[in-house]
Amino acid sequence: MSISSMQDLLADFADRRDWNRYHTPKNLAMALAGEAGELAAEFQWLEQDEAFRVMDDPEKAKAVRLEMADVLSYLLRMATVLDIDLEAALKEKVAINEDRFPPRSS
Centroid of chain to Cα 86: 11
**Amino acid 105: pLDDT:** 83
Residue 106, pLDDT > 90, answer no
Which three-class secondary structure state does DSSP give residue 7?
helix
Cα(54)–Cα(58) distance, rounded to whole angstroms?
9
Structure pTM?
A: 0.92
pLDDT tens digits, residue range 4-54? 999 999 999 999 999 999 999 999 999 999 999 999 999 999 999 999 999
Domain spanning 3-100, CATH class: mainly alpha
Cα(68)–Cα(64) distance, rounded to whole angstroms?
6
- Sequence-distant (6+) residues with CB within 8 A of 7 are 76, 77, 79, 80
Percentage above 90 pLDDT, the chain: 97
Centroid of chain to Cα 48: 22
Domain ranges in the chain? Answer: 3-100
Please choose, from the candidates 67, 81, 68, 65, the residue with its C-alpha nearest in 3D space to the C-alpha of residue 14.
81
